[in-house]
Every structure is written in C-alpha cells, then in structure tokens.
Amino acid sequence: MRILADLPLLDGWLPIAVQIVAGVALLGLVRWRKPVRSIALLVVASVCAMAVTGVVYAILESHDLSPETGPLAFWVWLFLTVMTVAMFGLTVAAASWTRRAVVAIAGLLTVLCVALTANQWAGFYPDVGRAWSAVIGQSPPNETSLSALRTLRGSPQPDGRTVAIDVPHRISGFEHRTEYVYLPPAWFTGAHPPPLPAIALFGGVINTPLDWAVSGEAITTDRRYAAAHNGFAPILVFVDPSGSFTDDTECVDGPHGNVDTRITREVRPYVVRVFGARPDARGWAAAGWSMGGTCAVDLAVEHPSQFATFLDISGDVGPNLGDHQQTVDRLYGGRGDLWSRFDPRTAIRRHGSYLDSAGWFDDEGHVAGPHRLASSQIAATNALSSVSRAHGIATIVTARPGRHCWPFAAEGFRRAFPWLAHRLLPGSDRAGSALLR
C-alpha cells in the first residue's frame, strides 16, 4: 500500500500511462459506419468543447490565475472531456448500454487526465498518498485538540503537534475556514510553554489553510530544524487568507473581506494569548507563496510593529487583480485610498525609515548576466527590494530555475528557513545572516 501512496503525480510513468489509456479509450469511441453523421457529431461536440474551454480560460483570467501558463496537456484534456460529454449527450438515446458504459469510462478517464494535468500545473499533490489524503479529508499530521494540549504538557512530543483553531472574528467580520497551528517539541517542555516565535503562512489564490502543511511541507521543515536544535523551532500558523477555495483577497481590507484586520487584530493576538507566542515584532515572520508572498510583504511593511521579517516566494509587486484601475475597482470597490494604503511601495515610502525589518525574496528565474536576474516575478522583486533597502529594510534576493508551483514554494521555504530561524530565535545558528546586504 505504501508503494502505491508513494507513486509520483508530478512526473514519472503514472500520469503518462493514465493519459495513454484515456487516449485509447477515446479512440475506441470513434465509429465511422455513418461518416456524415459522425463528422456532424464531431463538429457539434468540438464547438461545445471550444466554447466551454474558452469560458474556463476567461474565468481563470478574471481571477488573475494566469491561464496562459497552464500546460498544453491540461487544455487538450479539458477540451476532450467536454467533447466526450457532448457526444454522449447527443447520442445517448440511440446508444446501447455497452456503448454508454464505454463512454462513461472514457469520460471518467478524461476527467482524471484533467485533474492530473491541473495538479502538474499547480503542484499541489506530489504523490498518490497526498492526493488521496486530500480526497478523504485526512487530518494534518499529529493533530490534537486544543482541550487536550494541557494533558500533553511535560510529556515528550518529538514530532510536535498540530491544533485546529477557530479564532473569533468579531472585529473583522471575516468568515473563515478552520485554521491550524503547529507547535514544535519545545512547546511541551516545562510547566509553561516557552515564549516561542511564530511564522504566519499564506498560500496562493487557490488555497486551503493546510496547503503549506501538506504541499509546502512546512511542518516537515520545522520539525527537522527542531530535531537539530533541542526541539526549538518557530510555531507555524496556517492562516486562511481567503475564506473560500478561490476568492482572491490579497490579504487586504476591502469588499472581499477585512483580511488584514483579521490577521493583525485577531489571529496574531489569539496565537500570542492561547499558545504563549512571543508578542514582539522580532518574534514574528510572515511567509507566503504567490498571492501569499504578496501578503507577507504587505503585512511586514504595513505593520512593522507586528512583523519584522518576511519571506516572499514568487509574489507580485503589490496586491492586484489586473492593472491599476482594475485592481482599484475589483479589489477595493473603486476606493483609491485603499489602494494607496495597501500598495507596499507606497506604504514603505509613507512609513519612512525601518529600524529592524528584513525580508527574503525568492523567485523562479535565472541569472541573465552579472547581477542581473530575469523572470516574470523578478521585475516585481527588484522594485520592492530597491525601495525596501532605500528605507532601511535589509533584503535577500534569490532566483532559481523552476515553475510557479508548490514544489518550488516548498524548496524556497526549506532554503530560507535557517535565515528565518536566525531572525526569530535568539542564539540559533547564524546561517544566512551573511546574506543580508
């Protein structure tokens, strides 16, 4: 069973084999006994498929999900899926039960191919085991209840514990999903928990609060660090920045919800109060990927008294839902003052000099010459890093070959973690401090 769970979904033979089988099943549906009628059906089904595929593309584009970056295989299988469904709908009345069964099987295989190629696009689930855990809603690793924590006090917890939390939202009014906190082994030592630092983690536009725990392997990274440092590591806070699977809030206050208020006035104080996390800004970092990277920068420059450190993996130059005017209209309900409040470069210039802030920018890209970087995110990074340094925020800028997907985010978090730990944990190893410039 373990062998099946470990089968890779982002590369390897399994995704290829499934697509080959689906292709053979589709070829088996082709019947040319009545060429004119068959061609007519193909034309009608193709038109339907083109229309639906175009609508999906437009929806993704309207949510700023960069449909043009999707792999060709995803769009091909989406087209073939709709085409198969359309052909079945047009012929079901006259089809035999055997043919209906074959069409149903072929349709299911094409849907599976859409899911596989979509997963390869986003990199959510690297293997069968993780995908199955998401399907059945499996609990995060080593989960315990908030009420049971007191019974674990003083007993060794070498892998730490994950706790589901329900933070009241009376101030923000933001309807959120279940969020989680990971407590490292050191939290359970002694009569009272030590004042550990915390990292607030934010995912991309399409997200669940546990994405960083599962797809981003954040708990694994934190646990490994703790194992090498007498159980000490930061608390991880898996925040819900969207309230739903697809709402692009960019972590700001606006028509999509008062997310900034929720994070700074509800979630952070709750973690300090309930889990004894350090209350000072140097004890907190904001980290994220894609939309979450934008969130991390914005929180740190808007609220330096709460977050002195940020990690931005493949984020944008600022919260956006298109160009400037589209962003003002879609994200802020037409309010230009809200755009000015949450635009990080504007916020940095408005704040002035920062005393103890630092950030790490990590992007997919490559070195294009001496000290020159090139990728779709690098322009944003250079702009943010330049204005940050000019106002006293120490920054690190790195770029690696890779795609805009969760494995890239997970590797970025692993690479930056020693630096984060040095910023957050006094006396930790000083790896990464020399990179600041």
Q: Find the range with the poorest average confidence among 198-207, 407-416, 428-437.
A: 428-437
How confident is the model at residue 432, as a pLDDT? 36
Measured distance CA(404)–CA(402) in Å, rounded = 7
pLDDT at 434 over 50: no
CA distances from 327 to 60, 301, 393, 423 (A): 16, 20, 26, 34
Structure tokens at 23: 């292709």
Percent of the chain with pLDDT over 90: 59
How confident is the model at residue 376, as a pLDDT? 61
| Mean pLDDT for the stretch of residues 95-101 | 74
Q: Find the range with the poorest average confidence among 27-31, 298-302, 396-400, 410-414.
A: 27-31
Are 342 and 318 contacting, i.e. CB atoms less than 8 angstroms apart? yes
Q: What confidence category does residue 238 fall into, taking pLDDT thresholds of 50, 70 and 90? A: very high
How confident is the model at residue 430, as a pLDDT? 44
Q: What confidence category does residue 97 fall into, taking pLDDT thresholds of 50, 70 and 90? A: confident
Q: What confidence category does residue 37 fall into, taking pLDDT thresholds of 50, 70 and 90? A: low
| Mean pLDDT for the stretch of residues 32-53 | 76
pLDDT at 368 over 80: no
How confident is the model at residue 224, as a pLDDT? 96
pLDDT at 433 over 60: no
- Output Rg (C-alpha) for the chain, integer angstroms: 24
How confident is the model at residue 24, as a pLDDT? 87
Residues in the chain: 437
pLDDT in tens, 139-182: 787 899 999 998 998 899 999 999 999 999 999 999 999 999 99
How confident is the model at residue 201, as a pLDDT? 98
How confident is the model at residue 6, as a pLDDT? 76
How confident is the model at residue 370, as a pLDDT? 44
pLDDT in tens, 391-406: 999 999 998 888 788 8
How confident is the model at residue 436, as a pLDDT? 35
Measured distance CA(342)–CA(297) in Å, rounded = 10
Are 413 and 400 contacting, i.e. CB atoms less than 8 angstroms apart? no
| Mean pLDDT for the stretch of residues 277-282 | 97
How confident is the model at residue 2, as a pLDDT? 62
> Which residue in 434, 425, 336, 430 sits closest to 394, CA to CA?
434
Q: Find the range with the poorest average confidence among 56-60, 67-71, 225-229, 348-352.
A: 67-71
pLDDT in tens, 4-34: 777 888 888 889 999 999 988 887 766 544 5
SS3 state at 153: coil
How confident is the model at residue 373, as a pLDDT? 46
Structure tokens at 50: 């083109």
Written as one letter, the residue type at 268 is: R
The secondary structure of 238-278 as a DSSP string is E--SSSSSS---TT-EETTEEHHHHIIIIIHHHHHHHH---
Structure tokens at 104: 């149903």
Would strands 358-364 and 394-400 be described as parallel, antiparallel, or unpaired?
parallel
| Mean pLDDT for the stretch of residues 29-48 | 70
Q: What confidence category does residue 1 fall into, taking pLDDT thresholds of 50, 70 and 90? A: low
Q: Find the range with the poorest average confidence among 45-49, 274-278, 302-306, 414-418.
A: 45-49
Q: What are the backbone angles phi and psi of residue 406, rounded to the nearest 5°?
A: -65, -40
pLDDT at 194 over 90: yes
Residues in Cβ contact with 8 at an 8 Å cutoff, skipping those fewer than 6 apart: 14, 126, 127
| Mean pLDDT for the stretch of residues 304-322 | 94
Measured distance CA(301)–CA(286) in Å, rounded = 11
Are 243 and 254 contacting, i.e. CB atoms less than 8 angstroms apart? no
